[in-house]
Amino acid sequence: MSLDLFSPVTLGSVALNNRMVMAPLTRNRAAEGGVPQAMNVTYYEQRASAGLIITEATPISPMAHGYPALPGIYTEAQIAGWRKVTDAVHAKGGKIVIQLWHVGRISHPSLLPNAALPVAPSAIKPKGQAFTYQGLVDYVTPRALETSELPAIVQDYVHASHAAMTAGFDGVEIHAANGYLLDQFLRDGTNQRQDQYGGSVENRARLLLEVTQAVVDAIGADKVGVRLSPVNPFNDMRDSQPQYTFDYVTQVLNPFGLAYLHVVEGGIHGGGEAEPFDFGAMRKLYKGAYMANLSYDKARANAAIANGHADCVAFGVPFIANPDLVERFAQNAPLNVADSSTFYGGSEHGYIDYPTLA
């Protein structure tokens, strides 16, 4: 029997009813103090028929923030807010993991404690503008992290992982993609360090591997996924040898026995043209469950699962506009069109008021 989107699958310790994953989607609708609120509970609960929900990227510390109205996962109030989300999703038979985030240089002093400079592997200012409470403002030149500061960042991931378990999540996803801190270390366009965290690909991958090891030690490999985006140019990112870099990263993640590897297969968010990359070759190097992500529709996703390229497929914008996307795919029903003007910030409109088939 051939597999498809509606076949069950187990990722690590998480048994999914189907292989349709709700991708992490930043929506900028948390309450004061980065606390998830009632409409956030409704939003995730509405989408609980997904085989797995990956939450919006969630800062692991006050210094990890880079946008307004983000939920966090480091205070007691935030944990309590997320607990309402996980309880609601589980009550509907769903599974949910939280994406752990440190934005690195993609921030602004107005978003950080004591108007601190954003931190990064190297003091390289990104092109573009930060989205702040005052509107769009130019990015600043970040401060290069001292080698001695990195263990504390690793511990922030551990603290957030323990917090996620307390909040009732089924697991965590380490966000090492899309131009944020761990990705900034991985790619040589943003990492020009001279210490053991810069230079060779072995050194550039060191922080990701230390974070992964620490999180695995804290909560178990069967509850941990990692997200990569080898050629996404978003956030002014590039690497001189992306295939070499990310084939290496894929291979060194194998021994952890992770729940899954989640790969953005190209460029997203209008960051420009993505470099050529052989995702099929990278996938063959990975021994565990592989989650594919980028512009998949039902037919492409079913083909990727049937031919063994992917174990599951993550959908982003379709889940924003279609809380019942699984049912719509099952019935070959038409899809609601997403209103991009309501993606980031705002009210319940464009968030929890998309109609379902029922």
- The catalytic site residues sit at 180
R_g of the chain, CA atoms, integer Å:
19
Amino acid identity of residue 294, one-letter, is L
Please give the Cα distance from 182 to 206 (Å, whole number).
Answer: 10
| Number of Cβ atoms within 10 Å of the Cβ of 192 | 13
**In angstroms, what CA-CA distances link 220 with 37, 167, 216, 257, 295?**
29, 16, 5, 10, 31
Round to whole Å and give the CA distance between 138 and 100: 25
Cβ neighbours of residue 77 under 8 Å, at least 6 residues apart? 33, 35
Query: SS3 of 39, please?
Result: helix
Q: Say how far apart CA 241 and CA 187 lie, in whole Å.
A: 9
Complete DSSP assignment for 211-245 = HHHHHHHHH-GGGEEEEE-TT--TTT---SSHHHH
Residues 83 and 122: their CA atoms lie apart, in Å, by: 36
